[in-house]
């Protein structure tokens, strides 16, 4: 019996659940059941997956299905799993990046099989997330042969499976924040600077997002160090000083963040071969000095 022969049910009908349910249905999986405490969420789920039946009780869904997805909030995964009765036919996955699969211990105690299936993707809009699934990495952890089944599932979704070693999920998930929410926070800060000279957020994004795309393309082509550009990598001391002076007059907190981030580009500039050791020392001295912005 393959995973495609299983009756698939979703407990939790938010953006992650809706996205994955549609992806599974497109691949021929029998997505037949949905439960959520929020009525509007189930309405959206059923509207997108006509084959799915609305359940008013999570235990009845579990009793009727074999392959269960717990797409609930991270902190709710353990309590929900603990509140239900499972059996040896059940295969249960959660989609949290940071939560260890041991949180599903009640499933194991009842004889079932557990796993984690975490697409490395932003899920703010199910339509956008569905388009972005192909090509994304899926962090997978599971018991025994279930791991291989989840890997095959990831490949069927045209994703890249990646085995997450036990006990490392929080580090794995934290890494994603550097190129997800933290990146958006930095874009927001950059847009704030654009507004200072009269631009709108839309104008800022229209200007900065192509630069971001070019940065990603450079790293894809040459790797981290050789894809690094900018004034630090060039050893342009004067530009670093001007940045610090301008930011210090605009927002000292932003200047402090600039110092921290710029310091982290120094080793990459050295590795790239364009930042000479003496200029690297000079730039580090300026960035670490409280008065660096005033130096000439």
Give tens-digit pLDDT for 206-256: 999 999 999 999 999 999 999 999 999 999 999 999 999 999 999 999 999
- The mean pLDDT value for 132-142 works out to 96
Q: Which helix (H) or strand (E) holds 16?
A: helix 15-26
C-beta separation of 104 from 44 below 8 A? no
Structure tokens, 19: 């996205």
pLDDT > 70 fraction of the chain, expressed in percent and rounded: 98
Reported in sequence order, the residue ranges of the chain that DSSP labels E, i.e. its strands, are: 7-11, 30-35, 53-54, 67-70, 91-94, 113-119, 137-142, 160-163
State yes or no: pLDDT of 100 exceeds 80: yes
Q: By C-alpha distance, which of 232, 249, 210, 245 is closest to 284?
A: 232
pTM for the structure as a whole: 0.88
Beta strands at 30-35 and 7-11: parallel, antiparallel or unpaired: parallel
Q: By C-alpha distance, which of 47, 56, 5, 2 is closest to 30?
A: 5
C-beta separation of 122 from 180 below 8 A? yes
Give tens-digit pLDDT for 150-208: 999 999 999 999 999 999 999 999 999 999 999 999 999 999 999 999 999 999 999 99
Residues in Cβ contact with 215 at an 8 Å cutoff, skipping those fewer than 6 apart:
227, 229
State yes or no: pLDDT of 292 exceeds 70: no
Give the CA-trace dihedral at 73, 74, 76, 80, to 10 degrees: 100
Alpha carbon distance 73, 184 (integer Å): 22
DSSP per residue over 123-181, as a string? -SSHHHHHHH-TT-EEEEEESTTHHHHHHHHHHHTT-EEEEPPTT-HHHHHHHHHHTTH
Instruction: Please tell me the predicted confidence (pLDDT) of residue 291.
Output: 57
Q: Which helix (H) or strand (E) holds 46?
A: helix 39-48
């Amino acid at each position: 019996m393959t995973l495609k022969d299983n009756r698939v049910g979703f407990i939790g009908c938010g953006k992650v659940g809706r996205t994955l349910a549609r992806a599974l249905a497109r691949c021929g999986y029998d997505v037949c059941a949905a439960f959520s405490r929020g009525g509007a969420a189930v309405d959206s789920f059923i509207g997108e997956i006509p084959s799915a039946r609305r359940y008013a009780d999570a235990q009845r869904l579990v009793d009727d299905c074999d392959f269960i997805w717990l797409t609930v909030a991270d902190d709710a995964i353990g309590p929900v799993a603990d509140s239900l009765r499972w059996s040896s036919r059940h295969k249960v996955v959660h989609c949290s990046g940071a939560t260890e699969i041991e949180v599903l211990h009640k499933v194991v105690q009842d004889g079932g099989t557990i796993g984690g299936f975490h697409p490395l993707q932003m899920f703010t809009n199910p339509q956008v997330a569905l388009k972005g699934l192909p090509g994304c990495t899926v962090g997978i952890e599971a018991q025994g042969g279930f791991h291989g089944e989840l890997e095959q599932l990831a490949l069927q979704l045209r994703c890249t499976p990646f085995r997450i070693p036990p006990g490392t999920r929080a580090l794995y998930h934290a890494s994603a924040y550097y190129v997800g929410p933290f990146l958006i926070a930095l874009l927001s800060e950059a847009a704030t600077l654009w507004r200072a000279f009269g631009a709108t957020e839309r104008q800022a994004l229209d200007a900065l997002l192509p630069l971001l795309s070019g940065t990603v393309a450079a790293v894809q082509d040459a790797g981290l160090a050789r894809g690094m550009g900018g004034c630090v990598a060039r050893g342009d001391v004067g530009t670093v000083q001007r940045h610090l002076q301008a930011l210090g007059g605009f927002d000292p907190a932003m200047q402090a963040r600039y110092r921290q981030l710029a310091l982290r580009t120094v080793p990459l500039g050295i590795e790239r071969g364009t930042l000479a050791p003496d200029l690297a020392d000079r730039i580090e001295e300026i960035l670490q000095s409280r008065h660096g912005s005033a130096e000439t």
